[in-house]
Structure 1
């Protein structure tokens, strides 16, 4: 994500749904730029082409989003930021087993892992994830003087954040670092300071993302993906998820999909047909996020500008 979230409690999320029920369709806004951008493109296109009223609810709780889609009551109808393999457990439960949620057929490729700033890579020689398992190397990333490094592992509640807790343990560097699970905006500010001051920085990275256009970042090398070494137990499925998960390889090939409540096909068949045709380009998603974060444009403005500049693409989505 990402994006995988947990910023609002289920109760707070449910409370925010009251106004959403009056709309034709409801989508969640996870409040990070890439997903917010895609959500706004879908929203603006559907409103323009189908005349729908689409409401949004702000939440960073991915399991709660899936539970809402599962109920098929219009609380959440579309989730446009389904990262696989990160959300595979949720897909298995709701798409494959319960069949209460569907995945649109198209997706776009993404990348995730650990990133460092250029100076970290070139000057300090941190090039492989194994380099983090050295306590002397870890001290390079010490920002608060406690003798331990600082590494951002994702936002609270992201599925990937739980994965990164396990990977830190199994890669052998957890004891040498403060594992920071904070809002992405905090991490971005820390990265910005480090990049401008040519200081070391390391953290979980995913792309498409605006940071690859803003800074010179490099992914750390990792052991190639191995299914036998990438065993994830979902936190919402087993209280011993951390102990039972075993992860010591890179992520599998990562793709991002649109998920939608199964009942939407009956309530809004033209919209579902469009969701099945939609195909996003990683470069476009990065540019949208850059416009939101760096150029300070509203996500709605960014979406409508792109739609205006790409009428043929939008027309194909809606079968015109």
Structure 2
């Protein structure tokens, strides 16, 4: 009996030791990873979370390179960088180099159908001038109300050069013939939106492009402060055409109409990585496949950044807090990643 008890004790200790060893496995030890990061800071949180996960798996992860979209997609295909968490598809399809999928691929879903985009106008002006569409900006009284620099055009806080949305907005200006009616402000998006927020708080009108997840629609709430407006009709660009049915959406809070013609495809937010890197690192690949976030989690963190918590140390703190709140999920991702490396 004593011998049986002793054997059971030894077995339990061995199992506990094996479990502890498994939870401490570092399949990425000795491997240096080269991440990239988008130029919009609302995508920094998911990048930091994935980087932390890879570090816990033993990888030596470099500081991310901030790259514009087309440069990233060329770089990841060439193997100059290994991955980023900021792919928006099909919105970024037009920026992929020829033969891209020979050398790189999408991995999992950070947020499936999470990329909502469109144009918003301050609600008080929308009601005063009956604005429901970009087409309304042809009217002289509307242009005058939104003309900040006196050039006779309505000012739209748009996208900086190199962003995927820049191509779509330029397409809209062309196909709806709005070049003489709307002036595109293409400076730093964060600075442009800070200026727009200040204008709104001072009682002035705002007209801007935005996307979700983003802090903008928490500071300027659709239905309360601003309204989503339509494009005159759905005329997709060549890149948008395969997903034309994802450009009109129903049930959007604060929309001028329901359904609303956004003129942008609702996108999936996905990790994009170099194929050779994934092949050599099954633990990293599995972690990326498992990794997913809710829009609420990203929006909450983005709002905190906009309120001043935007240093690298602040973002690391947000990562710590998210992991602490989601420990079971986090550990499950890591366990699956370690098992993939066995």
Partner deviation per Cα, 1:39-58 (whole Å, 9 max, x = no partner): 0111122213x022211244
Q: Tell me the distance in 1 between the aligned counterparts of 2:274 and 2:86.
A: 14
- Residue of structure 2 in register with 1:67 after alignment: 74
- Residue of structure 2 in register with 1:137 after alignment: 142
1:1-320 counterparts in 2 under 5 A?
Answer: 24-48=32-56, 50-72=57-79, 75-90=80-95, 93-96=98-101, 99-106=102-109, 107-108=111-112, 109-216=114-221, 217-222=226-231, 225=234, 229-232=236-239, 250-297=263-310, 298-320=314-336
Q: Tell me the distance in 2 between the aligned counterparts of 1:30 and 1:69.
A: 13
SS for the counterpart of 2:335 is coil
Q: Tell me the distance in 2 between the aligned counterparts of 1:317 and 1:212.
A: 31
| Contact 1:112–1:205 (8 Å) recurs in 2 | yes
Structure 2, unpaired ranges of 5+ = 1-29, 241-260, 337-342
Partner deviation per Cα, 1:229-256 (whole Å, 9 max, x = no partner): 33249xxxxxxxxxxxxxx971223221
Residue 111 of structure 1: how far off its partner (Å): 0.5
SS for the counterpart of 1:251 is coil
| Contact 2:157–2:193 (8 Å) recurs in 1 | no
Q: How many residues align structurally?
A: 278
What's the TM-score once normalised by structure 2's chain length?
0.75
| Contact 2:90–2:265 (8 Å) recurs in 1 | yes
Structure 1, unpaired ranges of 5+ = 1-21, 234-247
Q: Tell me the distance in 1 between the aligned counterparts of 2:238 and 2:209.
A: 19
Q: Tell me the distance in 1 between the aligned counterparts of 2:218 and 2:324.
A: 24
Residue 207 of structure 1: how far off its partner (Å): 0.6
| Contact 1:115–1:202 (8 Å) recurs in 2 | yes
| Contact 2:69–2:95 (8 Å) recurs in 1 | no
What's the TM-score once normalised by structure 1's chain length?
0.79
SS for the counterpart of 2:309 is coil
SS for the counterpart of 1:175 is coil
Q: Tell me the distance in 1 between the aligned counterparts of 2:48 and 2:34.
A: 12
| Contact 1:278–1:317 (8 Å) recurs in 2 | yes
Q: 1:32 to 1:77 in 2, by over 3 A?
A: same
Residue 311 of structure 1: how far off its partner (Å): 0.9
Q: 1:277 to 1:93 in 2, by over 3 A?
A: farther
Partner deviation per Cα, 1:78-116 (whole Å, 9 max, x = no partner): 1211112221134584554xx211111324222101112
Q: Tell me the distance in 1 between the aligned counterparts of 2:234 and 2:282.
A: 38
Q: 1:296 to 1:249 in 2, by over 3 A?
A: closer
| Contact 1:104–1:259 (8 Å) recurs in 2 | yes
Which is further off, 120-129 or 276-285?
120-129
Q: Tell me the distance in 1 between the aligned counterparts of 2:278 and 2:64.
A: 21
